[in-house]
Structure formats: C-alpha cells, structure tokens
Amino acid sequence: MSLPIVQYIGLDVAKRSLDVDLLGSPLHLAHDGAGCKTLVAKLRALPHPVHVVCEATGGWERPVVGALHAAGITVSVVNPRQVRDYARGIGKLAKTDKIDAKVLSAFGASVKDLHPTSPPQAQQSELAAWVTRREQLQSMLQAEVRRQIPGMPKPVAKHLQASIARLQKELKSVAQKMAKIIEANESMAAAAKRLQAFQGVGPGTAATLLGHLPELGTLEDNAIAALIGVAPINNDSGPKTGKRFIRGGRSSVRSALYMAAVCACRCNPVLKHFYKRLRDKGKPFKVALIATARKLLIALNTALKNPQFQPVQ
C-alpha cells in the first residue's frame, strides 16, 4: 500500500504579511484573520495532503499557526538558523520573502521525518506567556539594580529604588499568576509536583520547564538535551579531537536549568557528587555545571516519563 503524497508548502511569516510558496506559485496575503482564512481555503483546495513549513519569528507566527491548527492542517515551526544554513548549502544566497518561502518548501521536502508542531493547550500557552513576562521583568530588575551607583543625586536614587520595588512587586504578582495556572490544570500540577521533588528545582524553574519545554517527558534523553542546547557537539577531523561545545537550543530553559544545577550542586547528594567528580578530573567550572544541568534534565525527563522513578533526596 503506497503512502499518500505530501506536499510541502513554504510559508514566510512577517508581522503584517504572509508569503506562500503554493507549489511554485507565489501567494502574498495579509497576516490577519482574512488572510489566514484565505490561506486555509487555498491549502484545502490542493489535491494532496499538505505540510506547511514556517520559521519561528519570536511569536509573530502564532496567529497563522493557530489558524492552521484549528483547520487541522499539519504545520512545522522550524529553527530559522537551520533553514538559513540549508539555503546556503543549496546556493541560495539571495534573501527575499518569496525566496524564503520557496526555500522553506524545499527544506520541508528534504528533511527526513520533519516533526509537526503540536497545537499547545490553552493553559500551556498562557503559562508560557507569563514565563516570558517573568523573564522580561527579571531582566529589567537586574538592569535597574546595576544602575545604583555611589554619589547619585538623592532624588534620582529615590526614583530608582521605587522602580526596583515596583518590579519586585510585579515579579511576585506574576509568580502567583503562574502558580494559579498550574494549580488549575491537573496534569500540569502533577508534573510540577514531580519536578519540584528534585532538590534544586523550585517553582520558578518548574514553571519555565512546563511553559517553555512542553516536550519534557515525551522525547528521548539525547533529543531533549539537544533541544535546549546542553548536548556537547563533537568537533573532530581526522586524527584531531577538537573541543566539545554546546550551541543553540532554548536559551530561557537552559538558563533556568543552569541556575537549578548551581543549587543542586550544593544540596542534591547525587548531583553534588557528580559535579565534584568532574571538577576533580580537572573539568572547568562551566563545563562541569553544564554537564550537571544535562544530568538533571535527563532525570527530570525520566521522572515525567516514568511515575515510578524516585528522585534521590
């Protein structure tokens, strides 16, 4: 029995426009409700099943991806760097919206087992938005704290202190909102409880993992480590054995996991011993910490996969 032919449709997303490679024919639409409705109608009219491929654009892709999911159309939101590297590899150096849409079509057809992007749950999307807002507030708070310097005029110093106090208050409010979202969802509440059973993982880290890493507990260990960028990348050639390094991945999740690893190295007996063993072997501080963060991530991934897995306290 032959498998149905799948047509890969490249979709270049901008804030106000959509450029589609509709089987070689360019289509330009507005990125609004009417444009998304027209796109869905065009895709449904094609003779074979379609798989839409678009790049992650910092959130601007959400309206059209949501419309495609609602229509039951398969869509993959892919890493822009991978697509750009692919374009260079096939000699496409020019870059326009129409060219990008064609490259996305070719990329989708060339990549083996391109994974569709699953539609997020409503609560997970809301939690992810609050996690992002928390990160923004933390960044602003750190900037305000750094601006406190000796000799500053008192009125300015007072204004700065008021700004710091306001941001701290907003951070507490956001933390409460995230906690309420998690508590209101039975599966997320159970997952958060499992994650926080590990010493070093607090409510903030658990919320970040649930909001920005919904794949946790569904992927293999190597895949989840590569997804957030804590999997060492080989750099060997012939007899040369190059230095391993990490690259890419979801930086917000990696940052949260890094801080959790710092805490775990002090209070988690298993990870503390693991970190110390690496340091005793001469591994640099950050290399040992990233290795510890990876080990912690794999343990968390296993815990959500297997309810019988018990963390060491």
Residues 6+ apart with CB under 8 A from 133: 174
Is residue 304 situated within a structural domain?
yes
Residue 127 within a domain: yes
Q: Is residue 2 part of a domain?
A: no
Q: What per-residue confidence (pLDDT) applies to 312?
A: 56
Tell me: do 193 and 283 sit in the same domain: yes
Indicate whether 192 and 173 sit together in one domain: no
Model pLDDT, residue 186: 92
Confidence (pLDDT) at 89: 92
Domain that holds residue 129: 120-184
State the pLDDT at residue 242: 65
Do the domain assignments include residue 75?
yes
User: Among residues 304, 294, 305, which one has the least CA distance to residue 222?
Assistant: 294
The answer on 158 and 80 residing in a single domain is no
Query: Cα separation of 33 and 197, whole Å?
Result: 44
Q: What is the dihedral of CA 166, 167, 173, 174, to 10 degrees?
A: 160
Q: Residue 4's closest CA among 59, 41, 55, 49?
A: 49
Are 72 and 144 in the same domain?
no
Residue 1: inside a domain, yes or no? no
Do 197 and 293 have their domain in common? Answer: yes
- Asked whether residue 153 is domain-assigned, the answer is yes
Q: What is the CATH number of the domain that holds 91?
A: 3.30.420.40
Write down which residue in 62, 79, 110 finishes a domain.
Answer: 110
Give the distance, in angstroms, between the CA of residue 147 and the centroid of all CA atoms in the same chain.
30
Calpha distance 28→19 (Å, rounded)? 5
Whether residue 21 contacts residue 9, with contact meaning beta carbons closer than 8 Å, is answered with: yes
> 210 near 130, Cβ under 8 Å?
no
Among 54, 79, 110, where does a domain finish?
110
Q: Do residue 283 and residue 226 come from a single domain?
A: yes
Question: What is the model's pTM?
Answer: 0.80
Same domain, 219 and 302: yes
Looking at the structure of the chain, the number of domains it has is: 3
Same domain, 203 and 313: yes
Q: Residue 2: its pLDDT value, please?
A: 45
Are both 133 and 18 inside the same structural domain?
no
pLDDT at 228: 87
3-state secondary structure of 163: helix
Structural domain includes residue 132: yes
Last residue of a domain, one of 75, 92, 110: 110
Work out whether strand 74-78 and strand 7-13 pair parallel, antiparallel, or are unpaired: unpaired
How far is residue 301's CA from residue 214's CA, in Å, rounded to a whole number?
11
Q: Would you state the pLDDT for residue 306?
A: 84
- Whether residues 213 and 138 share a domain: the answer is no
pLDDT tens sequence for the chain (313 residues): 444 578 999 999 998 999 999 988 999 999 999 999 999 999 999 988 899 999 988 888 989 999 999 999 999 998 888 899 999 999 988 889 999 999 999 999 998 778 888 887 778 889 999 999 999 999 999 999 999 998 899 999 999 999 999 999 999 999 999 999 999 999 999 999 999 999 889 999 999 999 999 889 888 888 888 888 887 766 666 777 767 766 777 888 999 999 999 999 988 889 999 999 999 999 988 889 999 999 999 999 999 988 777 765 5
Rounded to an integer, what distance in angstroms lies between the CA atom of residue 209 and that of residue 246? 19
Any domain includes 115:
no
At residue 245, the pLDDT reads 67
Same domain, 180 and 200: no
Q: Are residues 127 and 166 in the same domain?
A: yes
